[in-house]
Amino acid sequence: MTGSLVEPRLRAVAHLVPPGSAVADVGSGDGRLARWLLTRGCIVTATEKTRAQACWLADAVSGTAIEVVEGFGLRPLQSRRLDLVVMTGLGGRSIARILEDPSVAPSWSLLLQPMQDLTALSQALRRLNRGIGRACLVRSRGRLYPIVEAPLGVAWNGGPPGLLDGLGPWLRSDPLWSVWRDHALHRHAEDRGRAGSGRAPVSPNGGRQ
């Protein structure tokens, strides 16, 4: 696979993974990120939540050294020694549900790229007392996506609750911050309008909250 076939949001995530690390790509989909991580010398486990999706993923990465496992969220990783767990392309609420699954504690460093609902994700990190190591924005195919690193052993260090619920201070130094902030403020104003009309609010990237 050549780098140009991997979309920028996934390339940006891959470049934050230290080469050679043992990494699990949870909700790997077709395994694009997993294969890209392999080219960076990582030992890669890729997961999917159902048997059918895991079989499809195994076909997609057959002939590579990627290990495919089936199971919900972090459950199939429970006994594994990993440097990092990566979750990309899922909604912030789905990632939050996975992280707060009572049957398995997220005892690894995390690299997260939510598609929307950043607030739900940051609230989960706050509840889990997991702090941020770094956060940035990446432009990919006309949209902006946040990427959040939550290293193991760092306690919650985000800002106060509010717009973006504590992640604003971490994203503010990003060159794309002003574009993201204007978008987020615009959505926030729309949310308030919707709240008045009884409709569900929308997250900064457009997903229903």
Ligand X SMILES: C[S@@+](CC[C@H](N)C(=O)[O-])C[C@H]1O[C@@H](n2cnc3c(N)ncnc32)[C@H](O)[C@@H]1O
Q: Which residues bind ligand X (CB under 6 A)?
A: 10, 26-29, 33, 47-49, 53, 72-73, 88-90, 94, 98
- Give the HSE-up count for residue 122: Cα atoms under 13 Å, Cβ half-sphere: 25
Residue with Cβ nearer ligand X (120 or 131): 120
Residue with Cβ nearer ligand X (50 or 129): 50
Residue with Cβ nearer ligand X (38 or 158): 38
Residue with Cβ nearer ligand X (28 or 188): 28
Residue with tokens 């392309």: 89
Cβ 11 to ligand X, closest distance in Å?
A: 11
Residue pair 47/27 in contact (Cβ under 8 Å)? The answer is yes
Dihedral angle sign, alpha carbons of residues 180, 183, 189, 192 = negative
Cβ 4 to ligand X, closest distance in Å?
A: 16
Cβ 54 to ligand X, closest distance in Å?
A: 9
Beta bridge partner(s), residue 24: 45, 85
C-alpha span between 117 and 22 (Å, rounded): 28
Element (H, E) at 170: helix 168-171
